Amino acid sequence: MTRHIVCAVKDLPAGQRQMLWVRGREIVVFNHGGEFFALLNKCPHEGGRLGCGKLVGLVESSEPGTYRYSRRGELLKCPWHGWEFDIRTGQSWCDPSKIKTKTYPVAVEAGTELTKGPYVLEKFDVLIEQDYVLIEV
């Protein structure tokens, strides 16, 4: 896999998302409390744009009349039919044994590290003698 720059961390504050096209695929990147997650922006059910969906939490109940709300903002509801996906894993909550959406690894790196790149520029020493500029090769 090749790496692609999405944006500066300051340009994607907590609770926000960024959609972008990479190699013909639309991907949505989420900042969830300083953690970043990326999913294919296409619901496996019927192709709805997941990035336009609402982030919700998980409601669990151990008995009638009691419930617990957890994982706030970690489940993404498809805007077309409400199918829910875990932004951490891409796993579907509608049919977890069979359905998931594609996830992509996300990393945060210092800009100074990105500018180094894998390339090294060839250098030559420069000398000045009288009125001539010379290089040593």
- Count the helices and strands in the chain (H runs, E runs): 1, 9
49-63 pLDDT, tens digit each: 999 999 999 888 989
Task: Provide the residue ranges of all domains of the chain, joining segments of one domain with +.
Answer: 9-111
* pLDDT for residue 133: 42
Residue 10 DSSP one-character state = G
The CA distance from 58 to 38, in Å, is 20
Is 55 in contact with 30 (CB distance < 8 Å)? yes
Q: What is the CATH number of domain 9-111?
A: 2.102.10.10
Q: Cα–Cα–Cα angle for 66, 69, 75, nearest 5°?
A: 140
Radius of gyration of the chain, Cα coordinates, nearest whole angstrom: 23
61-88 pLDDT, tens digit each: 989 999 998 888 899 999 999 999 999 9
